[in-house]
């Protein structure tokens, strides 16, 4: 078993708590579903947001999910690069797994699909 990183990103349409929490939960669920993982498999989750999002901590959405209360979560501000995708939430999920790098499914949703079109695949739902 090794620790692997699973990348993910999404965008929101409004800088308000409801949208930030909803899209955070959707992104996490897609990562979990596409990689067949459980909270117990997760070492930690690093979450960043662009500076134009300040209405909520995305970790709040994750803490409200059953089984995620003990998973270490950290929120931070994304590096403010000119021309970067606005209203974006990014994840780096560290997971213990027997899967190889080529078996990891990274998840890019909404406008964030433009960040890595090579990794953005349609939702299973």
Whether 124 is covered by a domain: the verdict is: no
The answer to whether residue 88 is domain-embedded is yes
Phi and psi for 3 in degrees, rounded to 5? -100, 125
pLDDT of amino acid 124: 46
CATH code for the domain of 62: 3.30.1330.40
Ligand-binding site membership of 69 (annotated):
no
Domain count, the chain: 1
DSSP string for 61-112: HHHTSTT-TTS-EEEEEPP--TTPPSSEEEEEEEEEES--GGG---EE-GGG
Give the model's pLDDT for residue 15: 97
Domain assignment present for residue 50? The answer is: yes
Inside any domain, residue 51? yes
pLDDT (tens, 9 = 90+) of the chain, 125 residues, equals 899 999 999 999 999 999 999 999 999 999 999 999 999 999 999 999 999 999 999 999 999 999 999 999 999 999 999 999 999 999 999 999 999 999 999 999 998 988 887 876 654 44
Cβ–Cβ < 8 Å for 47, 59: yes
Q: Is residue 120 part of a domain?
A: no
Catalytically annotated residues: 7, 63, 75, 78, 90, 108, 116
């Amino acid at each position: 078993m090794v620790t692997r990183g699973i990348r993910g990103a999404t965008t929101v349409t409004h800088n308000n708590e409801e949208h930030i929490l909803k899209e955070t939960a959707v992104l996490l669920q897609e990562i979990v579903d596409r990689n067949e993982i459980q909270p117990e498999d997760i070492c930690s989750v690093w979450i960043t947001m662009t500076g134009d999002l300040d209405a909520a901590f995305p970790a709040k959405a994750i803490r409200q999910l059953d089984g995620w209360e003990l998973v270490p979560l950290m929120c931070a501000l994304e590096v403010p690069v000119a021309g970067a995708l606005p209203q974006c939430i990014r994840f780096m999920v560290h997971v213990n797994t027997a899967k190889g790098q080529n078996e990891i499914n990274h998840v890019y949703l909404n406008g964030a699909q433009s960040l890595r079109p090579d990794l953005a695949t349609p939702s299973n739902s």
